[in-house]
């Protein structure tokens, strides 16, 4: 796919000599490449289409990378990639070993930050500007933040500090009125009264109230100048506004109005999320992916609505992701019991604690990767107070093309550290509903975590699902005990089949609860020559580590291990202690040995080593984690 003016841009310096008509052509070229590439690979579409002119203007005014551009979240930096020497590799976007979906320091010196969690850019910019001031470095620092990301507490913490120290950071506020859904913010409403009037009229003025205080005075009070609002699709206007702000040498906000999805009608018209992020599609005729089988998210969505119809105390909270977390049907059925709090996970969790204190039964629907930001709140505000908050953790495990910051691999290890927290890991849709019912009936903190994708179907009538707080034995064998959590139960069952083919008899347990571990499971695992645990989270401190601990403790109880006098060795399979790159989740799991073949191979290898130990030494010496 060739793209006229864009193909001539090797670095930002090539942008400076373009005539006005060429700039228009360049913007059109970029949009074409964005649509075609995201259609092929999936990715962030609406946000990138809206930031094309802004990116061109930034790179014409600034001298990157001497001047630092820090993209908040980084999901909107595709045009930045195209203009900073990555045009040729762009078709590999989000593919294994290809370009990443966010800025990435290994890819380019123009990229500073690669964490892709929202609301951090102002803090990075503050730090960079402080370091540059100390070093006498003349490079300027610009943070580009969306109105959505500006709802996160860290953004305000950074802004407060930038103003207080008078650091010459320019904060470009890319205001398209949306996070995924319309942004929950009186501040950006105050800055964009016209846009807000339109939205309120469309929505029947659902959340009215007095006129909010004026935005510029808010910034002035913090010691930050305000420039704008500027038309975010007019390169000349943007350049002039940016130059003014940079020339002042003062902390400044440059307020830019953009349209999310600009130039692609299906994105502009998508009320749900302006095609913020999409799976691959046919570029000429966009259609949402057809789903035949329900995902875990869909099962949760329906189960929660059913539970809420029975219990009026149930309320649901999202941190700016109502549709992606499956809360849209709840919001429609119970608008007064639904809370979008903005991109503010910490606030979401503590707000849930407050609601539970007030007698409600809050459910926080959140992605695994974003929950970890609120761990202190989970530990102290929910855990210490023993409050009945239910954390419903989606996109757990290896998620795939979004890379290291989006894999949900820490939740089991971290949630397990919170005293009094029950942690459920459903391995099927039916079990998810059973666990949600159990969690909502528990007068203490609970978490359920599940992966993205289709829910395993174990039939109707509950025959294939577990109940209460019991683990479930799927197969009874003699040689090795496979203990699996959540989605890896299916892989463990497959491994047992492969082992049977080579004459190894395997037991398979579905843990169901990662915390507390069911005593029956521990007692049964203890009678095998080898235990292999499997989870799609970090090996260290996760579900497997809990099984090791439980086996070790039961070995100290007389008769705790039946007729064995030492706990069997345990192989703990999971995600290693490193950041896992982006790629196809099925391939990543297989590379990590977390599929049927990998589990079977680990079990055979473990058994061989145990047998060698038994032959040449004391079997009890094998009782460590292999
Ligand atoms: C801490 C955190 N929570 C949630 C997300 C998921 N997320 C990615 S982009 C986004 C919306 C961002 O809105 P905005 O900053 O206005 O950028 P836009 O896409 O509208 O340009 C959200 C909620 C995230 N990246 N980080």
Per-domain residue ranges for the chain? 4-278, 296-449, 472-622
Residue of 44, 174, 179 to mutate, ligand 1, most atoms within 8 A of C-beta: 179
Confidence tier at 622 by pLDDT (50, 70, 90):
very low
Nearest ligand 1 atom to alpha carbon 174: 21
Going from the Cα of 170 to the center of ligand 1, the distance in angstroms, rounded, reads 20
Q: What is the dihedral of CA 370, 375, 378, 380, to 10 degrees?
A: -160
Same fold, 4-278 and 472-622: yes
What's the whole-number average pLDDT of the chain?
93
What's the CA-to-centroid distance between 483 and ligand 1, angstroms?
A: 36
Q: Which residues contact 426 (CB under 8 A, 6 or more apart)?
A: 296, 432, 434, 435, 448, 450, 486, 512
pLDDT for position 562: 73
Burial of residue 131 (number of CB atoms within 10 Å: 0-12, 13-18, 19+): exposed
Output the ligand 1 site: residues, CB below 6 A: 47, 50, 73, 75-76, 116-118, 146-149, 174, 176, 178-180, 260, 276, 319-321, 343, 345, 370, 373
Instruction: Render 79-104 in DSSP notation, one character per residue.
Output: HHHHHTT-TTTGGGTTSTTS--SS--
In this structure, CATH architecture of domain 472-622? 3-Layer(aba) Sandwich (3.40)
For ligand 1, the distance from its centroid to the CA atom of residue 614, given in whole angstroms, is 55
User: Which atom from ligand 1 is nearest to the alpha carbon of 276?
Assistant: 19
Q: What pLDDT score was predicted for residue 213? A: 47
Best of 79, 80, 343, 372 to mutate for ligand 1, by most ligand atoms within 8 A of CB?
A: 343
CA angle, 129 as apex, 127 and 134 as ends, to 5°?
Answer: 95
pTM of this prediction?
0.94
Report which of residues 480 and 465 the model is more confident about: 480
CB 184 within 8 A of CB 342: yes
Coil, strand or helix at 136: coil
Q: Does the pLDDT of residue 211 top 60, yes or no? A: no
Start-to-end Cα distance in the chain? 51
Ligand 1: which of 74, 77, 118 to mutate, most ligand atoms within 8 Å of CB? 118
pLDDT for the residue 3: 67
**Average of pLDDT values for 169-179?**
96
Catalytic residues: 260, 345, 373
**Mean pLDDT lowest for which of 72-86, 107-121, 378-392, 551-565?**
551-565
Which CATH number among 3.40.640.10, 3.40.50.970, 1.10.3720.10, 1.10.3450.40 corresponds to the domain 4-278? Answer: 3.40.50.970
Q: How confident is the model at residue 462 (pLDDT cuts 50, 70, 90)?
A: low
Fold of 296-449: Rossmann fold (3.40.50)
Model pLDDT, residue 625: 46
Cα(320) to centroid of ligand 1, in Å?
A: 8
The neighbouring-strand residues paired with 393 are: 366, 449
Query: Which residue intervals of 174-214 are DSSP H helices?
Result: 186-191, 193-202
What CA–CA distances, in Å, run from 508 to 397, 471, 517, 599?
A: 20, 11, 15, 12
| Distance from the alpha carbon of residue 318 to the mean position of ligand 1, in angstroms | 13
Interval 87-119: pLDDT, tens: 999 999 999 999 999 999 999 999 999 989 999
Ligand 1 atom 15 nearest Cα = 146
**Could you report the per-residue pLDDT of 357-411, keeping only the tens digit for each?**
999 999 999 999 999 999 999 999 999 999 999 999 999 999 989 999 999 999 9
Q: Beta 338-340 vs 390-394: how paired, if at all?
A: unpaired
């Amino acid at each position: 796919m060739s793209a006229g003016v864009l193909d001539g841009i090797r670095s930002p310096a090539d942008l400076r000599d373009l005539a006005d008509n060429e700039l228009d052509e360049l913007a059109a070229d970029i949009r074409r490449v964005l649509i075609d590439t995201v259609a092929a690979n999936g990715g962030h579409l609406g946000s990138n289409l809206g930031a094309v002119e802004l990116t061109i203007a930034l790179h014409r005014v600034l001298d990157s990378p001497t001047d630092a551009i820090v993209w908040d979240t980084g999901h909107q930096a595709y045009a930045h990639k195209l203009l900073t020497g990555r045009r040729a590799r762009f078709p590999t976007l989000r593919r294994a070993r290809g370009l990443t979906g966010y800025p990435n320091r290994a890819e380019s010196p123009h990229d500073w930050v690669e964490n892709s969690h929202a609301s951090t850019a102002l803090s990075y910019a503050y730090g960079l500007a402080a370091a540059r001031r100390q070093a006498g470095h003349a490079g300027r620092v610009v943070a580009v933040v969306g109105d959505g990301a500006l709802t996160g507490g860290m953004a305000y913490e950074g802004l407060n500090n930038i103003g207080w120290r008078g650091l010459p950071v320019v904060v470009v506020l890319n205001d398209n009125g949306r996070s995924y859904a319309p942004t929950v913010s009186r501040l950006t409403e105050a800055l964009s009264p016209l846009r807000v009037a339109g939205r309120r009229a469309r929505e029947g003025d659902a959340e009215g109230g007095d006129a909010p205080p004026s935005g510029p005075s808010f910034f002035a009070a913090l010691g930050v100048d305000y420039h704008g609002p500027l038309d975010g699709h007019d390169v000349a206007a943007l350049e002039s506004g940016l130059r003014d702000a940079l020339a002042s040498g003062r902390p400044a906000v440059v307020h830019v109005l953009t349209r999310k999805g600009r130039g692609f009608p299906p994105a502009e018209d998508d009320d749900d999320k302006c095609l913020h992020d999409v799976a691959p599609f046919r570029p000429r005729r966009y259609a949402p992916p057809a789903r035949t089988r329900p995902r875990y998210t869909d099962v949760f969505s329906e189960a929660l609505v059913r539970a809420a119809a029975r219990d009026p105390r149930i309320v649901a909270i999202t941190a700016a992701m109502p549709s992606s977390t499956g809360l849209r049907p709840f919001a429609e059925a119970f608008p007064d019991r639904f809370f979008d709090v903005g991109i503010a996970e910490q606030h979401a969790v503590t707000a849930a604690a407050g609601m539970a204190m007030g007698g409600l039964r809050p459910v926080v629907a959140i992605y695994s990767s974003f929950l970890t930001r609120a761990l202190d709140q989970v530990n102290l505000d929910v855990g210490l107070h023993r409050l009945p908050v239910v954390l419903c953790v989606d996109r757990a495990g290896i998620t795939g093309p979004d890379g290291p910051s989006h894999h949900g691999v820490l939740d089991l290890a971290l949630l397990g550290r919170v005293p009094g927290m029950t942690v459920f890991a459903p391995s099927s849709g039916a079990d998810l509903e059973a666990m949600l019912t159990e969690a909502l009936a528990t007068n203490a903190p609970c978490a359920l975590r599940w992966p993205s994708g289709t829910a395993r179907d174990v039939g109707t009538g509950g025959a294939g699902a577990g109940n209460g707080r019991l683990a479930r034995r799927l197969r009874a064998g003699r040689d090795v005990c496979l203990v699996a959590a959540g989605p890896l139960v299916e892989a463990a069952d497959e491994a047992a089949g492969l082992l049977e083919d080579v004459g190894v008899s395997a037991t398979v347990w579905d843990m169901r609860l990662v915390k507390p571990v069911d005593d029956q499971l521990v007692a049964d695992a203890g009678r095998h020559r080898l235990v292999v645990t499997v989870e799609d989270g970090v090996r260290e401190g996760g579900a497997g580590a809990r099984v090791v601990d439980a086996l070790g403790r039961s070995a100290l109880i007389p008769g705790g291990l039946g007729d064995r006098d030492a706990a069997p060795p345990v192989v703990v399979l999971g995600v290693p202690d490193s950041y896992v790159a982006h790629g196809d989740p099925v391939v990543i799991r297989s590379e990590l040995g977390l599929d049927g073949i990998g589990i079977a191979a680990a079990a055979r290898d473990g058994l061989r080593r145990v047998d060698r130990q038994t032959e040449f030494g004391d079997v009890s010496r094998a009782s460590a984690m292999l």
